[in-house]
Amino acid sequence: MITVGAIKQQGRKAFTMIELLIGIAIFSVVILIALESFMKVINYNRKAAQNQGIQDHSEFIFQLISRELRTAKINYTDNCKSFYNLFDSANVVGPNQVYSVGSTSITPALPVIFFENANSECVAIALRVDASASNIKRLKVSRCAHGGSAVTCGLLANVREAYITPQDIEVLKFTASATNFSNLSSADRHRPATLSYYIKLRSFIWQPPEMEFTNFITARNGEQF
């Protein structure tokens, strides 16, 4: 005996294999589009965070360098000459000058900034190759308190050094130029000494973005006025 319910069940249509495959294909396409959009958002956020990280660290470097450079002392005594000779004997800070830009004597020759800071420390800010970090270029600060002696800082044992850029950020380029007043009696004596530098950084985290920065510093030592 065939009931009404059985007749209705026999008349109901089911999904065919082709319809199931089409449905799965459409669902897969939608998922892939959504996943691709999601990954783009993640990558964008990662790159933005890394760019911000490089910018923040660069600002820290600028503040660190600028603070010392801006209050650099006028060279009256040549107490730092032996220190400068450790790096570049041809481009030391001359008498009555504030800054000098030279090249390291080691191979490869890389830029270095020389000056004496407000604490009577001989300072060199140089671009150096770091063999412990896959030979990337990093900024290194070398300093020595001369204590009024012209020979103290000519000894490597008295020199302290430290990198100021991290291992995951490489310095692709570092250049600098300095202008000084000529001597104590010249009218040019009242024009402040200046130093400008350019730095280009690249990060090794995630997608490696690159950033460029420039800075211009005017010496503010009260002795020059």
Residue-level pLDDT at 83 = 94
Domain-by-domain residue ranges, the chain? Answer: 48-224
- Write out pLDDT tens, residues 103-162: 876 656 788 999 999 999 999 999 999 999 889 999 999 999 999 998 999 999 999 999
Of residues 160 and 62, more confidence is placed in: 160
Please calculate the CA angle 139-74-150 and round it to the nearest 5 degrees.
80
Of residues 223 and 139, more confidence is placed in: 139
The Cα 60–Cα 95 span in angstroms is 31
The Cα 102–Cα 134 span in angstroms is 25
| pLDDT exceeds cutoff 60 at 189 | no
Q: What is the DSSP letter of 15?
A: P
- Write out pLDDT tens, residues 31-45: 888 888 888 888 777
Share of the chain above pLDDT 90, in %: 28
Q: What is the DSSP letter of 21?
A: H
Q: Of 161, 131, 127, which is closest to residue 143 (Cα–Cα)?
A: 161
Structure tokens at 11: 């008349």
Exposure string of 85-95, with b = 16+ CB inside 10 Å and e = fewer, is ebbbeeebbee
**Averaged pLDDT, 91-109:** 81
Exposure string of 155-172, with b = 16+ CB inside 10 Å and e = fewer, is eeebbeeeeebeebbbbe
Quick one: which H or E segment has residue 43?
Answer: helix 17-70
| pLDDT exceeds cutoff 60 at 71 | yes
Q: Of 80, 124, 77, 68, which is closest to residue 96 (Cα–Cα)?
A: 77
The Cα 43–Cα 48 span in angstroms is 8
| pLDDT exceeds cutoff 80 at 85 | yes
pTM exceeds 0.85 for this model: no
- Position 223 confidence tier, pLDDT thresholds 50, 70, 90: low
Cis upstream peptide for 209 (omega within 30°) = no
Interacting residues of 97 by C-beta distance below 8 A, sequence separation 6+: 74, 75, 180, 181, 193
